[in-house]
Structure 1
C-alpha cells in the first residue's frame, strides 16, 4: 500500500432472495434441488464479486453466499454437531434495557438460527463444500478481473460461543477439538491463494455475551486462552496472509456493556494475524482510534478500521470516510492502513439492518472516501 489507501470489507454481503429461500430450506433439512442450489450459489458469488470490482473494492470476497451463518455453517462440514435446544446467552446491553429488547423481538430484528450443539467428537468430515467455495471464488475473480481476495472462517472461540458443548469434559478441550478441525479450513484457504480472515467476535462481543458474568480481568484471562488456541490452529499459515476481525456485535443497540478497545487491543495485537479489522464507524466505537493510538503496535501490523457502519441505512459521506481513515494513518502511517467496514452486511442469511441496494451505495462511499484520503496523503 505505497500509492493509495486500499479498500476491502468484512466479508458477508446481502444474499439474493432466491438464494435465501433455498439456503434456509437446506439448513432446516427440507428437500432442496442440490444442483439448482449449487447453481444459484455460483451465480450469486459471480454477481457479488463482479459488483465489488465495479464499485472499486480492492480485496474482494465471495460474500459468504454459500453459508447460512458465519459460524453455524460448520455443522454441514464437521461431525459432532446436531440441532437441539439449549439456552442462548443474550447480550448484556439488551438484558439491561428490556423495553428495547422487547421492541427488537417484536420487530423481528433479532437473529434467528438453528442451534447446533456439540454432542459427539468433532472432525472435519466433508471438504467438498470448502473446495467448491474456493473454486467458485477463483472462477468469479477470473471472470470479473479481481486481483486479490479473502475468505472468511470463524475463530474457535466464536464457534464455541454459538454452538454449546455437551460432549467434551470442559471448554478448553472443546476449543482444542474445534481448532484442530478448523485448521483444515484455515490451511486450505491460504493454499488456494486467498488471504484468510478470522472472524473473532469472541474477543469483543464475547465479553458481554457468553462471558457477561465474569469481571473484565476474568474475561481477559479466558481471552488469552482463546488467542492461544487460535494461534495454534494458525501455526502453519504465514502471519502476513491472515487478517482478523474484532467485533462487538453487528446489531443496533445501546452497546453500553462493550469492553473498551484499550483493554483487549494488546491481546489482539499479540495474536498471529498481521491485519486487524476493527470497528471505527458506529457511535459506540467511532472513538476507538484513541485506544489504538495508545498501544505499541508492531511494525508489521496493518490496521483496517471499519469506516462504514453496517447497522444503519445512512450512507456515509466520502469526506467523513476520509476523516476516519486519516485518524488511523496518523497512528501507523499511510502504508499500513486499509479501509473497511465495521462488520458484514449479511452476518446470518436473511438477517441484516442494511438493504442490498444501500449496502452497495455504502461501499461506493467507502471507495470514494479512500480516494479522498489518498489525495491528502500522497
Structure 2
C-alpha cells in the first residue's frame, strides 16, 4: 500500500449503496428463493459499476462495495461450515436505553434480514464465494484501469461476538477456531494481490459500558485490556500470511446514529493496536461528533514510522454532506500530528453495513465521497506548497 507521495489519497471503509434490485435479490436469497443465477449476474455487474463510480469520484483505493455480501459479518453464514440456526441477541447500551430508537434503526425489512447465524459444529472455510469476489473485483479493476484495491473481511473477534458459539468448549477455543478458519479468506485475498481490510469493531466495542458483545465472564477473566489483546492475537494469527503492506485494520464503535456516550476512548484501543498489530494502515472514525476531537490523541502517541493512518473524515450516518473546505481543514489538522506522506483519508464506516440498513440516502453517500476527494485535493494544494 502506498502512502501519499505527492497528494493526499482517498479511500473508504467498505460497503457502498446497493441498488434496489440487488437488495431485493439478497432478501430473496436469504429467504431460500431460487434466485442464485440472477443474483450472481447482478453481483458481477454491480461490482464493475461500483468500482467505476468510485474512480469517477476520485476515490484512489476502491473496493467492490461489498455487493456480494448481505452484510459485513453475517456473510460468513455461507462461507463457513459449522454455522446454522440463529444467533443470540446482543446490543449497545445506548440503544438498550432508547428502545424506540433501536426499533427505528433496525425494525425495518433490512433489520429482519440480518439473519445472523450461530456456530453449531466444527468450523471449516469454503472458498467459492471469496474466489467470486476476488474475480469480480479484479475484472472491474482491469476494466477501469485501477492498480490498487481492497476487500473488507470480518475479524475473528467480531464473529465471536455476532455468531453465537454453541459448539466449542470455551470462548478461547472458539476464537482460535474462527481465526484459523478465516485465515483462508484473508490469505486468498492477499495472494490475489489485493489489500485485506480487517473490520474489527470488536476492539473498540469490547467495553462492557458500551456493548454486550463480549461475555461477562471473559471480561472478568481478562479485563478490558486483556480482551483487546486476546482479539488482536486472533487477528495476528489469522493474518500471519498477509504482508503488512497488504493489510489494513478498521476500528469503529458501531455504525449507527445514536448517542454513543458509552464509547471507549480511541486512546484505549489505538495504543495496543499500534503496538501489537502488524497491519500497515489503521482506519478509524474521526468525523462524527463523538470522535472528531481524538486527533489530539496523536499529539502524545507516536505512530510507528512504518504505519499509515486513515482517519474517517466523512460521517456515514448523517445526510449532511461535508463541505470540501471543512474536509481540507480536517486533513491539514491531521497533517500536524502525522507526516502527510503517511496520511490517507477515508470514511468513518460503510454506507450499507447490512443490506437495507443504510442511514444515508444513496445519492448523498456518493456526494459525500465526491466531497472527500475535493477536500483532499484542496488540502494537497496547501500541504505540498509548503
TM over 0.5: yes
Partner of 1:204: 204
Partner of 2:37: 35
Q: Compute the displacement of 1:28 (Å).
A: 2.6
Superposition RMSD in Å: 1.8
Change (3 A) 1:71 1:102: closer
Partner of 1:53: 55
Q: Compute the displacement of 1:305 (Å).
A: 0.5
Deviates more, 1:49-58 or 1:109-118: 109-118
Equivalences for 1:262-341 in 2 at 5 Å? 262-270=267-275, 271-341=277-347
Deviation by residue 1:243-284 (Cα, 9 ceiling, x = unmatched) = 110000100000010000111111111212110001000010
Does residue 95 of structure 2 align to residue 94 of structure 1?
yes
Partner of 2:148: 148
Q: Compute the displacement of 1:322 (Å).
A: 1.1
Change (3 A) 1:109 1:67: closer
Contact 2:18-2:67 within 8 A present in 1 as well: yes
Change (3 A) 1:93 1:292: farther
- Counting matched residue pairs gives 375
* Alpha-carbon distance between aligned partners in 2 of 1:140 and 1:58, rounded to the nearest angstrom: 14
Aligned with residue 363 of structure 1, among 356, 364, 369: 369
Contact 1:151-1:197 within 8 A present in 2 as well: yes
Contact 2:30-2:113 within 8 A present in 1 as well: no
* Alpha-carbon distance between aligned partners in 1 of 2:69 and 2:305, rounded to the nearest angstrom: 35
Q: Compute the displacement of 1:359 (Å).
A: 0.7
Q: Compute the displacement of 1:358 (Å).
A: 0.7
Partner of 1:26: 29
Aligned with residue 67 of structure 1, among 66, 69, 77: 69
Aligned with residue 229 of structure 1, among 231, 234, 251: 234
Does residue 171 of structure 2 align to residue 165 of structure 1?
no
* Alpha-carbon distance between aligned partners in 1 of 2:97 and 2:20, rounded to the nearest angstrom: 35
* Alpha-carbon distance between aligned partners in 2 of 1:353 and 1:51, rounded to the nearest angstrom: 20
Change (3 A) 1:203 1:2: same
* Alpha-carbon distance between aligned partners in 1 of 2:232 and 2:245, rounded to the nearest angstrom: 17
* Alpha-carbon distance between aligned partners in 2 of 1:108 and 1:144, rounded to the nearest angstrom: 34
Q: Compute the displacement of 1:29 (Å).
A: 2.0
* Alpha-carbon distance between aligned partners in 2 of 1:358 and 1:111, rounded to the nearest angstrom: 25
Change (3 A) 1:16 1:176: same
Change (3 A) 1:104 1:40: closer
Deviates more, 1:254-263 or 1:206-215: 206-215
Deviation by residue 1:52-102 (Cα, 9 ceiling, x = unmatched) = 011010001000000001111111011010022x43111011123445445
Q: SS of the counterpart of 1:115?
A: coil
* Alpha-carbon distance between aligned partners in 1 of 2:333 and 2:274, rounded to the nearest angstrom: 18
Partner of 2:136: 136
Does residue 359 of structure 2 align to residue 373 of structure 1?
no
* Alpha-carbon distance between aligned partners in 2 of 1:263 and 1:242, rounded to the nearest angstrom: 22
Does residue 13 of structure 2 align to residue 7 of structure 1?
no
Q: Compute the displacement of 1:20 (Å).
A: 0.8
Q: SS of the counterpart of 2:206?
A: helix
* Alpha-carbon distance between aligned partners in 2 of 1:80 and 1:227, rounded to the nearest angstrom: 24
Q: Compute the displacement of 1:108 (Å).
A: 7.3
* Alpha-carbon distance between aligned partners in 2 of 1:186 and 1:206, rounded to the nearest angstrom: 23
Q: Which runs of 5+ in 2 are unaligned?
A: none
Q: Compute the displacement of 1:220 (Å).
A: 1.7
* Alpha-carbon distance between aligned partners in 2 of 1:98 and 1:87, rounded to the nearest angstrom: 18
